Amino acid sequence: MRNKHDNQHQDLGSQIEARGIACAREMLLIQTVEEGDTEGVFTAVDTDGNARVDLRELATALAKWTLLVTKPESPLAAAKNLALDLYMIFNVDPLEGFDEEQFKPVLQSWCLFTKISFEVMARWLETALELPDVQLSPEDKMAAQEIADAMRSPEAMAAVVEAHKIDLVFHLWDTDGDGVASRKKLTRALTWYYRLLSQVQEETGGGDAGERRAEVIDFLEQEQRPGLPGLDRTAFRTIVQRFCQLTGLPVPEVCDFLMSAALSGGNTTLEALAEAGSGMPPQPSDIRELWRTWP
């Protein structure tokens, strides 16, 4: 008769096998993009024919795709936010837009998200792009105006990107997509980041005054008290903004750190570093190596 230990091993083995199959399926989906007519899709999305897919074009394509596969209340508003996410994650200026080579990872992401091959996705997208431009809600009308305003100048687009950045960071730290980010991970990552910056400033002859440092650390410790709930988007934004107020660090700079940590798997690394206690953190070169090798 199987005992509990055997069942646990069997469950773990099944989980490993299922994840391995899922990864293999994802790799096959990515390969369909490499083998497909990406030029045709890129040209279809690039409606002004300038060999770039800018924010307006990508948001429009995503909104029409959404209309084809579901019945959203505000397709353009959601598409605008997703398009901004993609430009920021792939580090491309939304005003300048993706060129054809830069657009391939977007298509790969699209296939992984929809779990369909590139060939099928391309046919559906071709159909979707024939749909008329629609704005189903006041939110859609607002999104259309925001896109038009952002496309007016590099300065206007930069302002939109910076305003959206903290929302993207929240979604990256909301790892299971349930609308709640880990309070523990965020506060300990910020603690680690602040300790590192303080060490660097001290070594270069700067550094925060003792009173200010004590206030920052006390704030972060208070936010780590046992029993506090996870962070919804508003609470996440509040902690990041308060941290920036106390430290004098710009919100975009802190968001860049949190985004880099999440995209590199570094949020796990940072949590482990924070668990180490109050000792000084490793040097930046050691951190880069940790992020590269962390499982």
pLDDT (tens, 9 = 90+) of the chain, 295 residues, equals 555 555 555 566 666 666 666 666 666 666 666 666 788 889 999 999 999 999 999 999 999 988 877 777 888 998 999 999 999 999 999 999 999 999 988 888 887 777 888 888 888 888 888 888 877 788 999 999 999 999 999 999 999 999 999 999 999 899 888 999 989 889 988 988 888 887 766 666 655 556 678 888 899 989 988 889 999 999 999 999 999 999 999 999 999 989 888 887 655 555 555 554 444 444 444 444 433 433 3
Please choose, from the candidates 238, 223, 243, the residue with its C-alpha nearest in 3D space to the C-alpha of residue 183. Answer: 223
Task: Give residue 215's Cα distance to chain centre.
Answer: 30
Q: Is the Cα dihedral 3, 6, 8, 11 positive or negative?
A: negative
- DSSP class of residue 62 equals H
Helices and strands in the chain, H and E counts: 14, 0
* Residues 110 and 198 reside in one and the same domain: no
* Residues 56 and 143 reside in one and the same domain: yes
Backbone φ and ψ for 138, nearest 5 degrees, come out as -60, -35
Question: What is the structure's pLDDT at 156?
Answer: 96
- DSSP class of residue 208 equals -
* Residues 199 and 142 reside in one and the same domain: no
The residue type at 110? W
Question: What is the structure's pLDDT at 290?
Answer: 39
Whole-angstrom distance, CA of residue 193 vs CA of residue 191: 5
Question: What is the structure's pLDDT at 94?
Answer: 96
Range of the domain at 197: 183-293
How many structural domains compose the chain?
2
At which of 152, 167, 193 does a domain end?
Answer: 152
Instruction: Flag whether 160 is in a domain.
Output: no
Instruction: Flag whether 69 is in a domain.
Output: yes
The residue type at 66? T
Specify whether the CB–CB gap between 265 and 291 falls below 8 A: yes
* Residues 91 and 207 reside in one and the same domain: no
Instruction: Flag whether 163 is in a domain.
Output: no
Instruction: Give the pTM.
Output: 0.76
Instruction: Flag whether 2 is in a domain.
Output: no
